[in-house]
C-alpha cells in the first residue's frame, strides 16, 4: 500500500504502510523519545511525560470542578436548612462571628498574592525571591489553619459545639472541609519549599508550583465564599 502525499502527511507519519504494524522496523523520526532504560517512570512513560505541564493543569482544573461541586451541594443544603419553610419550629440561631476570622481571611488573601509573586519570581529565575516568597506563603497557610483552630476554640468556650444548632453544625463542617482541602495545598507547598531551600527546583517542580498556585487561589476564593455565606448571607 503506497502512501500518497496528501494533507495527512502533515501529521507525524513515521509509520510506513500499515501504520503501527511496522512496529520497530520504521520507528525512526518519532516525536516520542524513550527515556533511559532504567527510568523510574511507569511503563510506556518517559521523563518528558512526567513534566508535561498542560496535563497537570488540566487535571487540576478538572479536580477543582469536583471540589466546587462538593461545596455547591453543601451550600444548597445550607440554604435549604436556613429557609424558614422547612421545619415547623424555627431553630436557626446565627453564630456570633469570632473576630479572628477577619485575620485569617486577610492572611489567606495575602498568601494568594505571595504565591503569585513566587510563581512569577520563579519564571524570571530569581531564586532568592522565590525561596523567600514560597516560604512566606507556606507560613501564611499554616497561620490560617492556626487561626481557624482559634476560631473553633472561641466558639467552644462560648459553649457552641458542632451539634448545638444547625448554623454551628454547618460552620464546623464547612470550615473543617475547607481546612482539609487547604492542608493538601500546604503539603504541596512544603514539598516545593523544601526543594527550594535545597536548591532543587527542577522543571517538574516548576509545574508543581504552577499547579499548586492554581489550587491555592481556588482555596482562597472558596474561603471568601464560605466566609460570606456563613456570616453575611443571612435572612
Partner 1 sequence: MADVIKPVPEDASHKPKHFLRRYVFSTDHKVIGIQYWLLALVSVFIGMGLSALMRLQLAWPGERFALLKAILPHAAQSGNISPDLYLSLVTMHGTLMIFFVLTTAPQGGFGNFILPLQIGAREMAFPTLNMLSFWLTFVSLLVLLTAFFASAPNVIGPIAGWTMYPPLSAVGEIAGPGQGTGVVLWLLSIAIFSVASLLGSINFITTMFKMRAAGMTPLRLPLTCWAWFTTAGIALLSFPVLLAAGLLLLSDHLIGTHFFIPASEYVSGQLMTAEAGGSPILWQHLFWFFGHPEVYLAILPGMGLTSHLLSTFARKPVFGYRAMVAATFGIGLLGFLIWGHHMFVSGMSPYAATAFSLLTLVIGVPSAVKTFNWLGTIWRGQMRFTTPMLFALGFVSLFVSGGLTGLFLGQAAIDIPLHDTYFVVAHFHLIMGVAAVFSLFAATYFWFPKMFGRMMSERLGKIHFVATFIGVYAIFMPMYLMGIAGAPRRYAFHYNPATGEGLQYLAGLVPLTRFISYAAFITIAAQLVFIFNLVWSWRRGARATDNPWEATTLEWAIASPPPADNFGDAAPVVHCGPYEFSVPGAARDFRMQDEPRGAASKQREP
Q: What is the dihedral of CA 19, 20, 23, 29, to 10 degrees?
A: 60
Which residues from 34-73 bind partner 1, rule CB under 8 A?
A: 34-37, 39, 41-45, 49, 52, 54-55, 58-59, 62-63, 65-67, 69-70, 73
Q: How far is the CB of 83 from partner 1 (least distance, A)?
A: 10
Which residues, in sequence order, are CB contacts of 107 under 8 Å at separation 6+?
A: 140, 143, 144, 147
Does 199 sit near partner 1 (CB under 8 A)? no
> Given the rule CB under 8 A, which of 75-83, 99-107, 117-125, 219-227 is the region that contacts partner 1?
75-83
Query: What does the alpha-carbon distance between residue 37 and residue 77 come to, in Å, rounded to a whole number?
Result: 53
Query: What does the alpha-carbon distance between residue 151 and residue 98 come to, in Å, rounded to a whole number?
Result: 6
Return the residue of 143, 147, 162, 190 that touches partner 1, per CB under 8 A: 162
Does 26 sit near partner 1 (CB under 8 A)? yes
Count of other CB atoms within 10 angstroms of residue 46: 16
Query: What does the alpha-carbon distance between residue 116 and residue 9 come to, in Å, rounded to a whole number?
Result: 42
Query: What does the alpha-carbon distance between residue 64 and residue 172 come to, in Å, rounded to a whole number?
Result: 22
Residue 140, all three cell numbers = 501564611
| Shorter beta-carbon distance to partner 1: residue 50 or 113 | 50
Q: How far is the CB of 52 from partner 1 (least distance, A)?
A: 7
- Site residues, partner 1 (CB under 8 A): 1-4, 6, 8, 11-15, 17-24, 26-27, 30-37, 39, 41-45, 49, 52, 54-55, 58-59, 62-63, 65-67, 69-70, 73-74, 76-77, 80-81, 86-91, 162-163, 166, 169, 173, 177, 202-203
Amino acid at each position: 500500500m503506497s502512501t500518497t502525499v496528501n494533507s495527512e502527511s502533515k501529521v507525524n507519519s513515521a509509520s510506513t504502510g500499515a501504520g503501527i504494524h511496522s512496529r520497530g522496523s520504521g520507528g525512526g523520526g518519532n516525536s516520542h523519545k524513550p527515556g533511559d532504560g532504567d527510568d523510574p517512570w511507569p511503563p510506556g512513560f518517559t521523563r518528558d511525560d512526567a513534566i508535561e505541564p498542560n496535563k497537570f493543569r488540566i487535571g487540576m482544573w478538572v479536580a477543582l470542578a469536583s471540589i466546587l461541586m462538593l461545596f455547591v451541594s453543601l451550600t444548597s443544603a445550607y440554604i435549604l436548612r436556613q429557609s424558614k419553610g422547612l421545619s415547623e419550629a424555627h431553630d436557626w440561631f446565627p453564630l456570633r462571628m469570632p473576630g479572628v476570622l477577619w485575620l485569617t481571611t486577610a492572611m489567606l488573601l495575602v498568601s494568594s498574592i505571595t504565591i503569585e509573586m513566587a510563581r512569577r519570581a520563579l519564571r524570571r529565575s530569581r531564586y532568592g525571591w522565590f525561596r523567600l516568597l514560597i516560604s512566606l506563603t507556606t507560613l501564611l497557610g499554616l497561620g490560617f489553619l492556626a487561626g481557624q483552630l482559634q476560631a473553633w476554640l472561641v466558639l467552644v468556650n462560648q459553649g457552641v459545639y458542632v451539634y448545638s444548632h444547625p448554623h454551628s453544625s454547618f460552620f464546623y463542617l464547612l470550615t473543617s472541609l475547607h481546612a482539609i482541602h487547604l492542608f493538601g495545598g500546604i503539603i504541596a507547598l512544603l514539598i516545593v519549599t523544601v526543594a527550594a531551600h535545597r536548591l532543587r527546583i527542577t522543571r517538574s517542580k516548576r509545574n508543581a508550583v504552577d499547579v499548586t498556585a492554581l489550587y491555592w487561589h481556588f482555596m482562597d476564593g472558596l474561603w471568601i465564599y464560605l466566609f460570606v455565606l456563613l456570616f453575611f448571607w443571612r435572612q
